[in-house]
Each structure stands twice: as C-alpha cells, then as structure tokens.
Structure 1
C-alpha cells in the first residue's frame, strides 16, 4: 500500500466533520459524574471542541461552556447539534486555538481538551490556560483509545487499518499526549482516571469511524475505497447479531482522563 504524504494540522479534518460527528465514540457518563462530584462543572472552556462530543457531556452536567474550535466545518457541526444550548445561553461557540482562545482573563474554572491536546503547542498553550483560568482553576485532558485493549476485534482492526497510515506518521503520537509529556500542560501535578467505553458499530459506522481519523484516507482519497473493502472483510469475519440492532462489531475503547493544575 503506497504511503500518503502528511498534511498540515489545520487541514486534517476538512471534509471529515460529518463522519466525525456520526461515527466517533462519545464519552461515558461516569466521567461526567466524576467531574460533578468534584464540583468542576461550572464555567468551562472546551478547547479543540470539534463537533461537540465532549461539549455535550459538559452541558449535560450543567456546565456553562465556551467551545473553542479552529476548524470551520467542525465548528458548524457543533453549533448545529447543540443549537438549543446556544439559544439557552449555556453555550457559546467561537473560532480560536489553545494558544489564542479569545476568551477573557480568569473567565473559566475548568479548561478541557478531549481528543485534541496532542495538536497543541505545550508552552504557548500553558501560558494561555494560565491566562483564562481562575486562580484555583483546573485542566482536564481526555482521550478515547482502543489500543492496548486486547480483544480479537481490536487487534484485527488495528492490523487492517495499519496498511493505510499516512507516510511517516505514528498514530500513537498523533492521537494522544504521551503521559511523560503531561507535566508540560499540568506542571502542578495531575490525577488519572480510566473508564471502559465500548463502541458498538454497524458496517456503516465502522466505515465512518475510519473515515473520520486524520491519519487514514478521507472520502475522495484514492485509497479510501481500498480501506473500505478491507473493513468490509473485517466486519464479515467478526460481526455478531444484536437483538433489534442487526449485525454489529464492538471496538472496545477506554476513556483516559487527566485532571491537573497549571
């Protein structure tokens, strides 16, 4: 399989927002409850908010959220899917980055980044987080990851998609912050929690999930049809019948959450 060249970070998800919103895993309610028990769901800046999957969890916990997202396609998806919260004044949506959020000084008590912090420049991001956080504010970095969960389908999925990685890219380096680098974002120390987060997938959602991943071929890429065919073979080999849901496979994710101080 020929390797495809890399692209700038800002362009990685152009054209992928719709499949991202439809296919990516959400976040477990146990994480919301864990944050609520620590009285952290007050004023929140959700940075790199994407299509609003984690923003939605924050809103469900009663937080008032400023969602900051630089990608216009994803920002539009977020604003549309959470329009009721915008109209109610519980949510604002704006263009911005982790290094330049556009938010006022000391305006939020919690900064979150779900499935996004690996794109951030640590030094400039830390300075911005310190600027917008209240004096006792906290930072929460979150990501879903299926790697390291030893199920037959997880292992087969990893083998299938590895044939289509972008040239020179290591998915482990562009899907999460290495834990050794977390102090660069949270030098005041952090605690860790992990939740199981299995994702049932129809054939169509499996296609969409792979299409939403930045280091795999996007719809329209010549390699996308080949990847879809490989996923069809994978689905046929592993699918099981779910009552009222039809044929499905399950990709077993874990949600990793790191809560710290700047």
Structure 2
C-alpha cells in the first residue's frame, strides 16, 4: 500500500457495502479493555487518542469511557457516517494510516481496533510515530472468534475460502511489521469475550460484515449466506439465541524519545 492507494480493495469495497451489517454483526469489546486502555495506554481526561481505522465506531465507546478526547480517523465514507451518527461528540475525520490528518506529536496514543492488519507497513508505522508524542503509545486490539470450537471452525471454512489474499489477523503476517523503528517491544494481553444474540445477527450478519464476503458478486454472496444458514440450522435448530465464543487480543508498544 502507498499514500496514493492506501486502502486495500476488499476493505474499500466490502466495508462500504457492509457498514450496516458491521454495526449489527460485530461484537463490542469487553469491559476489561477500559482498564487496559487506562493502564497500558495511559488514557484519561487529559489525553488525546486517535482511533485509526475506526470503522463504524464499535470500539469508540470504550475509548470514551476513559475520559480521553477521541479523534476517529476512517477512510471509508459510509462507515465514518455511521460512526458520526452514533457518536456525535467524537471528532471524526476522513484519513488513512499513511495520511493521518493530525499534526506532528499531537496524540498521546493511537489505537487500531480490528484494523491494523490492513495497514501493517513501515510507512503506516512511520505516520503513526509522527503523530504520537514522545513516549506515546500504540495499541492494537482484535476480537477473534475461537476456532477451537467445532462449529466455529466449520463457519470459518465456509468464509475463508473466499478471502482471496485479503489481509487477516489470524495469519500473523501483521507481526512482521515489528520490531518497528522508533518503537519499543510489543506487549500482549488477552481477555475472554463472547457475543450472544439471534443467530441471524451474531452469526449471519457477522459473516456479511466480512470485507471480502461483502465485496463478492451478489450470486456468490447469496450462496455463502445459504451455507451459513444451513450451518445454523444444523448446529442450532430452532435456537432464538446463540453464543459465539471470542477472545480479545490486545497489544501495545511505546514510541521512543
């Protein structure tokens, strides 16, 4: 990716089309993350945090709970519109990881929730380093489905055969961006999590919100949805609510002086 073309096609097309499903189908983040933000990223009422790749604002309320000033940066217009409508008190700006619309050393922290794997490059990290104050911290957070559970593994197999090389957290390729120039070691914390609700929402809408599924031609997308409905019928016949097991993985690193 480059400054001229910073957004992966699957993200640009899929998230633009799937913003509504993203809001419905994606889980929020566990309450323990607020303490993590305060302790690890040192967020509080005097701090300014940039939420980079903010999407529809799923992570935004956890940042707001710290009392910090939140500046949300998102390149996909339909997702940014959802965030602005949901959280009008947040300063929302159009921008990307290689073109963050803030001045040098203006942020105490940058947080990427469910997004860093899309732009895990030296160029993006250099831009993040530019906007961070000395000693500022970068936080990376992902909600990850627990594929050790049999039915979740089956669901992943339905979805992942369509990924077509789109960046994924689970591959670990994003880790190759570290160690990164100007940053210290990468630290990791994990929190148990889950998403409970109607299967049409927590399973099917979750699949619909996947960028490369949302970007499929309509006939292929409909076929995927039929396969997911068949899995739901097989695993959870007549169930009104389903619990999807997740784990929240959180990482942080500090900018050097």
**Which bin holds the TM-score, normalised by the shorter protein?**
0.7 to 0.9
| Coordinate RMSD, CA, aligned | 2.5
> Structure 2 vs 1, CA of residues 187 and 177 (structure 1 numbering), >3 Å: closer, same or farther?
farther
Per-residue deviation, 1:181: 3.2
Larger displacement relative to structure 2 (108-117 or 31-40): 31-40
Q: Which runs of 5+ in 2 are unaligned?
A: 1-7
Q: Secondary structure at the match of 1:34?
A: helix
In 2 relative to 1, CA 219–124 (structure 1 residues): closer, same or farther, beyond 3 Å?
Answer: closer
Q: Normalised by the size of structure 1, how large is the TM-score?
A: 0.83
| Residue 253 (structure 2) aligned to one of 245, 248, 260 | 260
Correspondence list, 1:1-262, <5 A: 7=9, 9-38=11-40, 39-41=42-44, 42-83=47-88, 86=89, 91-120=90-119, 122-147=121-146, 149-163=147-161, 165-166=162-163, 168-169=164-165, 172=168, 178-184=174-180, 187-205=183-201, 206-218=203-215, 221-239=218-236, 247-262=240-255
Which residue of the partner structure matches residue 5 of structure 2?
none
Give the secondary structure class of the aligned counterpart of 1:13: helix
Aligned length: 244
Contact (CA 8 Å) 1:153, 1:250: kept in 2 or not?
Answer: no
Distance, in Å, in 2 between the alignment partners of 1:131 and 1:217 is: 33
CA gap of 1:185–1:250, structure 2 versus 1, over 3 A, is farther
Q: Is the 8 A contact 1:240 1:248 kept in 2?
A: no
**Counterparts of 1:117 and 1:186, CA distance in 2:** 17
Determine the C-alpha separation between the residues in 2 that align with 1:13 and 1:101: 19
User: SS of 2:59's equivalent?
Assistant: helix
Q: Deviation string for 1:138-182 (max 9, x for gaps)? A: 0001111115x411221221233245x14x326646886533433
Contact 1:115 1:175 in 2 (8 A): no
